[in-house]
Structure 1
Amino acid sequence: MDSHPNEPDEPLTPAGRLFLRPEMNTIIHCVVGFKHPVDVAEVKSTIRDSLMVQHPRFSSLMVRDSRGFEHWRKTHIDIDRHVIVVAHDHNLVSVNDYVADLSVSSPLSNDKPLWEIHVLEGHNCAVFRIHHALGDGISLVSMLLASCRRAADTEALPTVGVVGNKRDNSLGRDWREVVVGFVKMVWFSLVFCMEFVLRTLWVCDRKTAISGGAGVELWPRKLATATFRFDDMKAVKRAIDNATINDVLFGVVSSGLSRYLDHRSPNEALPEGIRMTGVAMINLRQQPGLQELSEMMKRKNSGSRWGNKFGMLLLPVYYHKAGPESDPLAYLRRAKAMIDRKKRTLEGHFSYKIGHLVMSWFGSKFACLLNYRIVCNTSFTISNVVGPQEEITLAGNPVTYLRANTSSLPHALTMHVVSYAGRADMQILVAKDIIPDPEFLAKCFEDALLEMKEAATVAEVSNKM
């Protein structure tokens, strides 16, 4: 693969260098399911003509100079080296088993740009493997969807839902409310930012049946999928004033984990309210619409618009033993109260700034140590990416599902949610020696949502009477 000698190398961003550290070597896996068998030649042609391979990050090698600093070096793309076909007769039980193996044992080669596409012929799907150094989940999913079209209109780009709206609630409010809101923002920011710092030092969650720790990123993995209907989540959302889909999702996680701990420790008296802290990533920059990608790619240095710009939030959930008199919606109320407090803070921006500062002053090794400690001192990772609202096609083949996860972390449990055409799939990646039954955990989450929906329906009927 030849490089471009006339084009200067471009240094990696601080976040890109962090994700290349051996302790945090992170690869994003996006699984695309198809209705019909995959035409490999058509996939290669689509990728060859796509915006993706024109992007500087996707058409550059990662190289190190004599001082050990990483740079992007422009090169020619050989599509045949990036598209890997897994034949029908491959000894492959399921797509989840294949991706679970990739998540712990298959790094990307540095002798080509850091992405691959694995076509699983026997399962009518493709696994996009993209190194996190190329960009975060929001930008990479947007780049992938730029090669897709709506199933109902083959000339139109997919419509992606809004990740979040920031509204100025100060308009029309009494000045006293504005002052109180500002004081709360400052107070909660100080509290949560201090907690964030303490998590990098010594504060950690109490050990439970889902806890990981240092070295767990090397353990064998299993992968299961929990599927939620968007209509069910919206029905639950309507039961609580001003609740959001994210509130519902976190309520489901809280309820599901409590169910799972009851299953794993039936004879143990787990303390009521025991804390399990999740690590969540939030986007800190404007997400460009898919319609803007074509114009963006024509601009010089458009690669600077992409990369990794996200903050980290610590999101606690608490164990509560379920009983015949317990209210399933209580999990949603607690989740909403916690997330509402987080929304008032600058925790995400603080984590991004402090990470950038540490990378700039002390280098990627020290920054990686701090990130590694945060993960070891918490219980799970969770992310939520909003996908297309309608059915789409890729290379002319209708897409049946979109799923995502990353390679292994010290957490024994990571959960990544992607919504698509009226449903949301949660990929549950676990260290199988710690959580041997992820399929049961997935059912705990699915049952939690259905129980909340039933309680919301009863509450709605009662309010109308």
Structure 2
Amino acid sequence: MQGVNQESCNGKCTALVLFNTRALGGYKSVNDMIKPNSDMPWGNHFTFLPVSLPKLTNLTKRDHSSINPLAFVQKAHRMIDRKRNSASVWLTSKFLDTLRKLRGPEATARFIHGSLKNTSMGLTNLIGPVEEMALANHPVKGLYFMVTGVPQSCSVTMVSYVDKLRIAMVVEKGFIDPNKLKSCIDYAFDSIFKAAVKSSPVAT
């Protein structure tokens, strides 16, 4: 964005991080989930967290520690953990559930769509199969998923499959250069990997 328009570095970007709330109550069997008044009823149960993305100007002028790739990752991890353990996660989940019961799924969908519209990008992930799958006797070498039709400039989805992580991204056409974004992502992953290898203790 900054390469296309210098003024874009002054803009505010917010990411909406979606995650499953079943982990908060534990995983149950299907028979337990379909029982009336179940502690963890059947169906999708998720919530989202708005996270402010750091500005490039902030990284270069005020927070020099964030220039270190590992320090940046650790700082982001601490921020997400702090937000996940806050009361807003529980309140958002309860609000969505109450809205669905009182106003119906269409009103809930409109609220979620409005929340997505007020953010710049969305991130979500799934824990995939740990063993190889096959469809019609054809082995599945890899898989990914994508949320379509969202009113955001960028969507990032992650899914694991047999100890491999696959990341998929969709960007707004004419607003974000996909080739330049891919180059930036590759550079970021390479920088993080090199910093992690460099900081790892040498085995003796």
TM-score range, shorter chain: 0.7 to 0.9
Aligned to 1:393: 134
Aligned pair in 2 of structure 1 residues 287, 439: CA closer, same or farther (>3 Å)?
farther
**1:366 Cα offset (Å):** 4.2
Query: 1:69-148 maps to which residues of 2 (within 5 A)?
Result: none
* 1:270 alignment partner in structure 2: 9
Distance apart, 1:442 and its partner CA? 2.8
Please report how far the alpha carbon of residue 358 of structure 1 lies from its aligned counterpart in structure 2 after TM superposition: 2.5
Which residue does the alignment assign to 1:318?
Answer: 54
Please state whether the residue corresponding to 1:408 is helix, strand or coil.
coil
Letter in 2 for 1:406: V
Change beyond 3 A, Cα 1:340–1:374: same
Instruction: Give the corresponding residue for 2:108.
Output: 367
Structure 2 residue matching 1:371: 3-state secondary structure: helix
Summarize deviations over 1:204-243 as a string: whole Å, max 9, x none: xxxxxxxxxxxxxxxxxxxxxxxxxxxxxxxxxxxxxxxx
Of the candidates 307, 310, 325, which is equivalent to residue 43 of structure 2? 307
Q: Which residue of 2 aligns with 1:429?
A: 170
C-alpha distance 269-307 of structure 1, shift in aligned 2 (>3 A):
closer
Q: Distance in 1 between matches of 2:76 and 2:33?
A: 44
- In terms of Rg, which structure is larger? 1
Q: Is the 8 A contact 1:277 1:314 kept in 2?
A: yes
Question: Helix, strand or coil for the counterpart of 2:86?
Answer: coil
1:455 aligns with 2:191: no
One-letter identity of the residue aligned with 1:310: F
Distance (Å, rounded) in 2 between the aligned partners of 1:365 and 1:395 = 36
Pick closer, same or farther for the CA change 1:422–1:406 going to 2, 3 Å: same
Structure 2 counterpart of 1:419 = 160
- Alpha-carbon offset, residue 413 of structure 1: 1.1
Structure 2 CA distance for partners of 1:421 and 1:359, relative to 1, 3 Å:
closer
- Sequence identity percentage: 25
Q: Is the 8 A contact 2:20 2:45 kept in 1?
A: yes
Tell me the CA shift for residue 391 of structure 1.
3.1
1:283 paired with 2:24, answer no
Could you say if the C-alpha distance between residues 412 and 419 of structure 1 is closer, same or farther in structure 2, counting changes exceeding 3 Å? Answer: same
CA distance in 1 between partners of 2:86 and 2:124 (Å) = 19
**C-alpha deviation, 1:338, in angstroms:** 0.8
Q: Give the Cα separation in 2 of the matches to 1:446 and 1:283.
A: 28
Distance, in Å, in 2 between the alignment partners of 1:399 and 1:383 is 22
Distance 2:145 2:27 in 1: 19
Tell me, which stretches of 5 or more residues in structure 1 are unaligned? Answer: 1-260
User: SS of the residue aligned with 1:264?
Assistant: coil
Q: Per-residue CA shift, 1:340-372, capped at 9, x if unaligned?
A: 211321322211211222333344454344323
TM value normalised by structure 2: 0.76
- Aligned pairs (5 A) from 1:7-46: none
TM-score, with normalisation over the residues of structure 1?
0.37
Higher relative contact order (CA 8 A, sep 6+): 1
Q: 1:334 to 1:300 in 2, by over 3 A?
A: closer
Cα pair 2:48 2:92 within 8 Å, conserved: yes
In the alignment, structure 1 residue 446 sits paired with structure 2 residue 182: no
Aligned length: 191
Shift in alpha-carbon separation, 1:366–1:422, aligned structure 2, 3 A: closer
Alpha-carbon distance change, 343 to 368 in structure 1, aligned in 2, over 3 angstroms: closer
- 2:92 and 2:53 map into 1 onto residues whose CA distance is 20
For residues 420 and 439 of structure 1, do their structure 2 counterparts lie closer, same or farther at Cα, with a shift above 3 Å needed? Answer: farther
1:269 Cα offset (Å): 7.6
Alpha-carbon shift at residue 301 of structure 1 (Å): 5.1
Q: Distance in 1 between matches of 2:34 and 2:78?
A: 42
Given the superposition, is the C-alpha separation of residues 320 and 362 from structure 1 closer, same or farther in structure 2, using an over 3 Å criterion?
A: same
